[in-house]
Amino acid sequence: MSNHNLNTSTAEDSQYVRQQLIAYNASHISTELRDRYEELNFHVKNEAGEIVAGILSTLCWNWIEIDILWVNPEQRQQGFGSQLLLEVEQLARTKQCDFVMLNTFSFQAPEFYKKHGYTVTTVNQNAPTGHTHYYFKKEL
């Protein structure tokens, strides 16, 4: 191994590394998919203008990945999570995506996603300790 220094990355260093991987990946992706990257984020506000639910997702090539789906605990069971999830799924269809994927923990919402037609692709036990980490996918 050569004599290189291992350093803690700054935000700028991290962005450089990220961009290098994106460029490498793009060189292996078809031209029609290469530039398909878009954040798709939505939220629900109450009458007071406060955000009570939101979804953060990313269109990446031929799928959408949901990063975060959150509903204020006091606002749950009112359909906001379903509304947000269905909005992203509809956009995925409109944008001709093949699937939607996401991950969740056992203390979050695995049953919610199963109810919406998602299937488990991977399960990691004891992640975090005492819980399970699920990865889901829904074919469109």
HEC per residue, the chain: CCCCCCCCCCHHHHHHHHHHHHHHHHCCCCHHHHCCEEEEEEEEECCCCCEEEEEEEEEECCEEEEEEEEECHHHCCCCHHHHHHHHHHHHHHHCCCCEEEEEEECCCCHHHHHHCCCEEEEEEECCCCCCEEEEEEEEC
CB-based burial label for 68 (10 Å; 0-12, 13-18, 19+): exposed
85-123 residue pLDDT tens: 999 999 999 999 999 999 999 999 999 999 999 999 999
19-38 residue pLDDT tens: 999 889 989 999 888 888 89
Tokens matching residue 116 = 């919406």
Nearest one of 69, 80, 119, 123 to 99, comparing CA atoms: 119
Nearest one of 88, 80, 96 to 58, comparing CA atoms: 88
pTM of the model: 0.86
Is it the case that residue 59 has pLDDT exceeding 90? yes
Residue with tokens 């959408």: 64
Work out the number of other CB atoms within 10 angstroms of the CB of residue 121: 11
